Chain A
Amino acid sequence: GIQVEQSPPDLILQEGANSTLRCNFSDSVNNLQWFHQNPWGQLINLFYIPSGTKQNGRLSATTVATERYSLLYISSSQTTDSGVYFCAVERRDQAGTALIFGKGTTLSVSS
């Protein structure tokens, strides 16, 4: 099955700093999503981005499908950005469909 690797596993930032989170995947995919898991455990959709670049406020994401990686950029980080960021990829074929998660990057932003 598809392997998803996220880096770094942990990231500690001061408020206002910028960061880049990386997601590598082992095969071509139909779907790639970034999620933020908040302290209450909810999985919040950040981006649906199987290819290309998207921006939403201080967050942006880029997926280079041909090179099998995606990047999540967080600018001017705030304490509320703390939590775990997951990348998840999905491949749909005759064998079925499954959205597979990486192990996540745990981000801690301090004031």
Chain B
Amino acid sequence: EPEVTQTPSHQVTQMGQEVILRCVPISNHLYFYWYRQILGQKVEFLVSFYNNEISEKSEIFDDQFSVERPDGSNFTLKIRSTKLEDSAMYFCASSMETEAFFGQGTRLTVV
């Protein structure tokens, strides 16, 4: 069964460093999303991506964040100058036009 794949599963980074989180969406899907979940809290929308451009972004998704679809399969989230409060689980999701499917998440720890 097709699934959304995220790498790495866990990343530890020094405060101030840049990280790139990677996602391989389901192959024929058209919509791509990134979400963040701080431990014990709700799943927060960051950004959606459609037709090779950002479709919508939340107020969380500021200049510190960027997304790219560098080739036909990968979808990345870059976080620049990481802060302690960026520590969270980051989920990627994709959909055709209906049901969205989520990856297993990348746990980012900023120290």
**Is chain A's binding surface mostly helix, strand, loop or mixed?**
strand
State whether B42 touches A101 (Cβ < 8 A). yes
* Cβ contact of A97, chosen from B35, B50, B91, B105, cutoff 8 A: B50
> How many whole Å from B111's CB to the nearest CB in chain A?
20
> How many whole Å from B80's CB to the nearest CB in chain A?
23
Q: Does A31 contact B (CB under 8 A)?
A: yes
In whole angstroms, how far apart are the Cα atoms of A82 and B60 in the complex? 30
State whether A42 touches B58 (Cβ < 8 A). no
In whole angstroms, how far apart are the Cα atoms of A86 and B93 in the complex? 15
Q: Does B65 contact A (CB under 8 A)?
A: no
> How many whole Å from A14's CB to the nearest CB in chain B?
25
Known: A42-B105, A45-B101. A99 touches B91 (CB 8 A): no
A41 contacts which chain B residues (CB < 8 A)?
Answer: 37, 89, 104-105, 107
| A interface residues with partner B (beta carbon < 8 Å) | 31, 33, 35, 41-43, 45, 48, 86, 88, 90, 95-104
